[in-house]
């Protein structure tokens, strides 16, 4: 058992996830973007999906399956990028004016 497959690793990943969400919260507040519950849910799903994509590529490389890493990585990354663009429009991330904090 190595650090990266241990429970402690997931504890740290959890902290990172919290920080991502807090950072995103401030970022959306600055831009006056309303963030109802469903938007957070969608974002969380996207983050998990992207995490899956990265872990998939890493796992395939670790298994010495470069073809799977490349093909699967390209497929899943493309879906992640296209869905990120679609979601940013759906969630209104780049539409509203930036709100200057006092």
Partner 1 sequence: MEKSEDWRKLSRRQFLKASGAASAVMGSAGLGVFGYQAGKDSFSYTGCESFQGQAENFNRQRFAADHATYEKVGVASRVDARTEVIFSRVSSLMRQWDEEKGLDSLDKGLQAYYKKHPYDLKEDLHARKKIFPKRQKDEIKYKKKFVLAKAWSNAMSAVWPPGIRETPERYDFPRGEQYGEPVEPLKMKSPEKTSQLIKQISYQLGSTLVGITKLNPDWVYSYPMWGRGLNPELPLEIPGHWEYAIVIGTPMSWDPMYANPNYGTSFDAYAKSRIIAYRLIKFIRQLGYPARPHTPGVEYDLMVPPIAIDAGLGEQGRHGVMITPELGSNFRPAVVTTNIPMKTDKPIDFGVQDFCKTCRICAKNCPSRAIPMGDKEVVRGYRRYKINSSRCYNFWYSNLGNIGCRLCVTVCPYTRKSNWLHRTALEVTANDPSGMSQRILSKMQKSFYPAPHPQEYYIPSMGGKNESYREPPWWLQTEDFIDIDI
Residue 83: CB minimum distance to partner 1, A? 16
Give whichever of 21 and 44 is closer to partner 1, judged by the CB atom: 21
Residue 4: CB minimum distance to partner 1, A? 4
Distance of CA 3 to the CA centre of its chain: 22
Give whichever of 61 and 92 is closer to partner 1, judged by the CB atom: 61
Residue 56: CB minimum distance to partner 1, A? 6
- Given the rule CB under 8 A, which residues bind partner 1? 1-2, 4-5, 9, 12-13, 15-17, 19-24, 26-27, 30, 50-51, 54-65, 67-68, 71-72, 101-102
Give whichever of 22 and 45 is closer to partner 1, judged by the CB atom: 22
Residue 62: CB minimum distance to partner 1, A? 2
- What gap in Å lies between CA 15 and CA 13, rounded to an integer? 5
Q: Which two tokens stand for residue 13?
A: 């990943």
- What gap in Å lies between CA 72 and CA 66, rounded to an integer? 10
Contact between 50 and 80 (Cβ < 8 Å): yes
Contact between 96 and 36 (Cβ < 8 Å): no
- What gap in Å lies between CA 39 and CA 46, rounded to an integer? 11
């Amino acid at each position: 058992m190595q650090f990266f497959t241990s429970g402690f690793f997931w504890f740290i990943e959890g902290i990172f996830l919290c920080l991502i969400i807090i950072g995103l919260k401030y970022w959306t507040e600055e831009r006056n973007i309303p963030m109802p519950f469903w938007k957070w849910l969608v974002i969380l799903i996207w983050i998990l999906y992207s995490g899956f994509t990265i872990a998939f590529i890493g796992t395939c490389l670790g298994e010495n399956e470069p073809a799977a890493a490349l093909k699967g990585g390209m497929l899943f990354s493309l879906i992640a990028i296209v869905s990120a663009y679609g979601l940013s429009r759906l969630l209104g991330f780049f539409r509203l004016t930036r709100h200057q904090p006092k």
